[in-house]
Amino acid sequence: MWVSTAAKKPFFLSLIIWLIISIFSFILHPLQPFQSIAHRGASFYAPENTMAAFQKAVDLGFDFIEFDVRLSKDGHLVVIHDADVQRTTDGVGYIGDLTVQEIKMLDAGSWYSPEFSNERIPLLEDVLKQFGGKIGLLIDMKSSENQPQLTKVLSDILMRYIDNGVKLSTLKVQSFNINEIKKFHELTPTISSGILLEKPLNILHFETYRKFASFLSVNHHLLSKSIIHQAKQYGFDIFSWTIKKQYQFQIMQRLGVNGIISDEECKESNSNLLTLIFQ
């Protein structure tokens, strides 16, 4: 059926008005408070997943540090993101094929800057000892599908850590592996556990996940006010990752996330309206 150009004009005008109102409504929405979570430590300022990056996060006033753990050949939890050491050290090989003694010999800082040449890959227990009680710890289990014993080892270490009087609110564990998060929750139900997500969510996910997860760490591109509202109705906290640009902090705050995982601290932004919307 043919529709005249004149008949289309009111529709397009209404659409434009709705878009303008929606944009200004979002921009004028107040900025919500959030927990600041340093991605692999303050990795904008120091080499990722090192004690230097974690100390910088403390100095900058972050609420949590987020870091990754993998199992060494001899069954120790070491703090590193990648399965192999080549990108962030002067060595080669996979973490699962190296002993702690071999891992401790690697330079984990020079790739970032010569001033960090003395940095080493830390053990989880090093991080717990030095930073426990100073800052919250968000631990990301890596490769637990290939190293199923990792979950049990992590649970045992954290339970010993809790027995020393550490507040439960300062500990969180997350993973992309849903089965391992279920297992971790069964082993350690008192520690907050969450799921990392990079695919769209729906209500069925919320219903299933809430049995063993208290928070969801979601790729920020997937987040909207409606998704966050639904998730909170099911009792989840929502963390967004990974924020790398200052204007994105404002967007996440207006959406109402509970935590923002970022490489650097949130600074006062003078972004104008067009920058905030279109950058």
As beta bridge partners, residue 69 has: 79, 141
Secondary structure of 166-206 as H, E, C letters: CCHHHEEEEECCHHHHHHHHHHCCCCEEEEEECCCCCHHHH
Cβ atoms of 50 and 116 within 8 Å: the answer is: yes
77-79 and 64-71 strand pairing: antiparallel
As beta bridge partners, residue 241 has: 219
Active site residues: 39, 81
Cβ atoms of 118 and 40 within 8 Å: the answer is: no
With CA atoms as reference, report the closest residue to 140 among 59, 40, 3.
40
Residue 268: CA count within 13 A, CB half-sphere: 0
As beta bridge partners, residue 66 has: 39, 138
Tokens 């920058």 sit at which residue? 275
Cα gap 124→130, rounded to integer Å? 10
Cα R_g (the chain), whole angstroms:
22
With CA atoms as reference, report the closest residue to 128 among 100, 167, 81.
167
CA distances from 232 to 23, 207, 227, 257 (A): 23, 12, 9, 10
Cβ atoms of 116 and 109 within 8 Å: the answer is: yes
